[in-house]
Every structure is written in structure tokens, then in C-alpha cells.
Structure 1
Amino acid sequence: MKRNNAQLSQAEQLYGVGVDIGGTKIMILIANQAGDIVHRKKVNTSSEFDVISEHIKESLRAAGISLDQVAAMGFGVPGITNSEEGSVIEAPALQWDHVPFRECMQRYFDKPIFVDNDVNCTALGEKWLGSAKNSEDFVVVAIGTGVGSAIMANGSLVKGSNYMAGEVAYLVVEQDMLGDRVNAFGDFGQFEKKISGVALSQYGALPHELFEQYARGDEKSKGIIQQFVTDLSIGIANMVSLLNPQKVILCGGVSQSLEPVLELIRSTVSSLTPIPTSIELTSIGEEAGAIGAVALAFEKAGMDLNRGDWHENAYRTQLS
């Protein structure tokens, strides 16, 4: 009689390792195909393969899982990746330029290794265990230090001819052109300069502080946040008109402060495009990228991802 993952002992199960390498932190998760997360670890970021690999080895030891039990490893990187070749074309935050990522990491782990853009991984995480479960068409907009997005269409990630689909940081409006404001690689994009964490921080307070002041009725913050909502809503409305997604999921550090203005964003987007969509905040937070990296590992290795409500319940139980 065939047993499912829930009935297998830990020694019998295969696991995926997901690593979200960010500009400030590295998130490592180990999970089985059912979406049960058995270990999580967050450390300061590093671009050194020696350091990254050692953190992974420490996580496996802490989880009591041998390398033989690891089916595959997935990595999310904040930059442009060639996911087919397993290389990082450009990741400025890590000072990586045309790095043969898979080849470098396989010096430490003789396992199938896969790499993709971090926001693409976030989309995979949202589809597996997050806000986009059972959704085939959705957009993830990540608002943190910078701004990025991932597009899921007909159940597949849209990559683009140069692996640059979803680079919404470079969205422009008429005022950008009239003001001679241009987009260039190596610099924040024009859309990014309006709604990112770095953009909001120029007003003398951290982004979450601005939203807290806005919620208290502070007049100065009111104007700043209303402009933020306008700029973000224009961008979302254009994405919705172009892609007709079932959902737009907002994630990233800044998104954690958006609850007070979420209804305003929804109504503003609705006024700018007649195409309906649902705008939601991520339900799995900062772990979405690492969860998606696990999903990437399993899917690229040809292993099925079991989906179901009880997986989400198990995930939430482990968080509490």
C-alpha cells in the first residue's frame, strides 16, 4: 500500500532546501513536498559561496537531515538570472556579474541546484503555500529597498527574452519624460524612485513610521502617503490592464505597513482600470522567497508539489 508524505518517517522523506539570498539577509528553509517546513534560519547576507554553503550545512545539521535526504536545492537571487543555465547575469546588491552560480554551488553540494530571480521565487512560494494558491494568473509586486515584480500567466512564470520580464522598477509616466528622467541599469528605476523603501526614507523617517504617522492623522505624512498610493496604484492599474491577473499580491518590507491604505489602493486602482482584479497582501511574509526556492527545487527536479488547505494549516501551526 502506497503511503503519502504525512505517513512517511523523517528518514524516508526527501526534502528541498530553499535559500533566499537578499541584500541584507539570507533566509534558509528546509521542507518536504507536502509543504511542511522542518527548519528555518535567517542570517546576515553574504556573497561568499563558502559562507552561504556553511549556513546551509548548519541548517541541515540542525534539522537532523542528511544530504542523502535532500532531493534538490533552490536559490533566489536579487538580480537578473539565466535560470536555464543556472547563472546570475547581474546582482548588484551582491556585486555579482555573470557568475556561474550552479557550477560554484555544486562544488559544495553534489545535488541538483536551481537558481532564479528572488521575486520569481516569491511568486512560486505564493502559488504553493501563500495568497495565490489555486491561481494560474497573478502578479507579485515586491516593495522593499527596491521594487520588482513577477508575472504568473497560465500557471507559468513569464521570463522574457532576456530574463527581464517584470522589471517594473522601470515603469514611466509622462512626467518622467517631461522631466528628462531616464532609466538606466545600475540605477534605481523611475517607478522605484517613487514607491520603494529608499524613496520613502528620504522624508526623514523609516517607511513604517510614515505609515504609522499617516494612520494617526499627521498632515505631513498624509501628503507623502497619498502620493505613494497614487504612484503605486497607477503602476498596478497598468499591470492589470496589460495582464488581466486574477490577483495582485503585494510583498516586501514596505508591504508590511500597507494595511491602513489597502482599501484606498484597491479603490484607486479600480478607478483607473475597468478590468477587475483582487489586490492582497502576502500571507506568508518574508519567507515567501525561500518557500518559492523550495518549490523551484522540487518542480525543476521533476517532483510533484502536494497542495491542500492542511498544508497551509501545518505551516501556520509551525509559525505559532
Structure 2
Amino acid sequence: MEIDYSIDPLAPHVEDAAFLQDRQNRLLQLQTNDEERRSTPVKNETRLRIVRADEQPDRVVADIALKRTIVAHIRGQEQSEQRIELQRLELQRRNEHWHITRIQDTAAERGFTLQSDSGPGMLLAEDPDEFEMMSIPSVPYLNHELLRLPDSVLHRYVYDRTKAVQYADRWWNGNNPAYTTFEVDCTSFISQCLFAGGAPMNYTGKRNVGWWYKGRIQGQELWSFSWAVSNSFQWYLTASRSGLRAVEVESPWQLTYGDVIVYDWDGSGRFQHSTIVTAFDPNGMPLVNAHTVSSQHRYWQYIDSPAWTPRTRYRFLHIVDS
């Protein structure tokens, strides 16, 4: 479909009119974006894997993973992108033929947000279709290892952008078993990348202070909000005065490898998705890796994401090297 920006190959097999209309709108947005980038799609390969299926005589509900490789030519150079999209299909059999009656994107690129009425230690998914709650009480201190590091220690680190990018490319389509996998884990993944690049954790033991991940203790996962929540993450990066910190720049042109982009999909002022810069296209624009919808070398703007809206706002965060 991305080759000719049309849903025509899909339309005869899908009865979900809302899905088809949404997909056509996204393809038209993508076409406009590609024209501005002088990008010509030449290949779109998709491999399907059935994750789970509930089969009944006349109805099937299947969760599928679509591993997509998208290749385009930009200014005479080849640019390749990969992503893994998760969908739920509903099929019904009528007159001995199977019909796809509904398609739903099940991986939302809307990260966790903090809800003021959720009580202490609650995280909720931004998208109600991807509702996820984790109740973990905030504690004064976990142990002496989690006491705040002196500023002199935090100032010593040097951010290794190569190692951060290598980690992002190693784990873009998988989960490092050293960390807990969240249902919506885009920001946790970016935190892992920065930590792999040498960024020091700022242990405080308080969930709303510092930037840290401790792991599982007595059956509870313990981490700061800034580790796993995009809005808290971007606030920490720009407010921090020692250790891991970032400076906001005005344009994606000003970013380099290992920098961060955060996304406010609906212009509300709350950022819901995080990515890390891992490459650049022939125009010099950033390409990013991300989780939730696992992506490698995806164009930074996310025009073709179901989460994107015309109100989408971005923050471009340059990580301070030392």
C-alpha cells in the first residue's frame, strides 16, 4: 500500500470501513511527507506471525505481528526502515468464505501518564484501549544504595553516544531480560539506551525524584516515574542540573546521534512517546529507534502513526555530553 499510497489492495478483503478510511488518510499524509522529503518508496516487505488465535467454527480473533521492511530512494541513496506492528483481526465466515470484519492496532504509541486522581504510585496508559495500571507505593528510601549521589559524582560521566546507539540497534525489536517489560515501554527503552551510554542513574528512592531503576524487590518493580513515563522523563532531562541532562533545541536539524525526541500527540502539553536518534537520512534528518511499536531507523516525524494528529508537538532534546 505504501508503494502507491492506496488501500485498493486491501479493500476487497476488509469490511472494516473505519479502519480503511483511517489507513487511507494516513497514506495520503505519508505521500505528502514523502514528496517533501523527495523520498520514493521502492519496496515494502511484510512478514506476518500469528501471536495468538481464538478459533470458533464461524469466528476467529487473531493477534498478529507484522514485521515490515520499508525501502525508499532519497537523493539517489537507499534508505531502509524496519518496524513491528501489532494488530488484532476479527474474521467471520459467511457462505463458506472468511471475511475480515475488524482490524485494530493493539500497540499504542501513547505512553504512560500520571493521573492526579489515581492515588499514590499509580501509572495509567494514556490510551484507554491499552489500559495498564501498576500500583506501587512510593517509599521514603529503599536502602542506602539509593541515596542521592553527590553532584561531584554525577558530573564525572561522559555520555557515549556510540554505545547508546548500539544498544538501541541491539534491542529495538526485543526486550533486554535485565529489565522488566512494560506493556507500553517506549520511555523505559530510551532510558535503557541512555544508561547504556553511560548516563548515571540518580537514585533517590522516591518515585517522583531522580532518574533510576532498581528492579524487582519483594515482588514489586521499583523505578522512578522519569524512567518510564515520557512526560516525567522530558521534564527531568530539561530540569536536571547535574548528571544526565538535556538542552532543548529548536529544530531536528540540531540533533545528533543519541539525542532524544518526545511527542505530545494531541497538543495537550503532556508528552506521551519517546524515541532516540540512531541514524540520519540523505537529507540530514533524524531517524529514530523506539519501542511499543518496535521501530528501527524510522523517520522522526511519525506522520504514519495511528497516534499522530495535526496537533502533534515535539521536543528536540540534545543530551549534554558531560
Decide which structure has greater strand share.
2
Computing the radius of gyration from Cα coordinates, the structure with the larger value is 2
TM interval, short-chain normalised: under 0.3
Decide which structure has greater helix share.
1
- TM-score, scaled to structure 2: 0.25
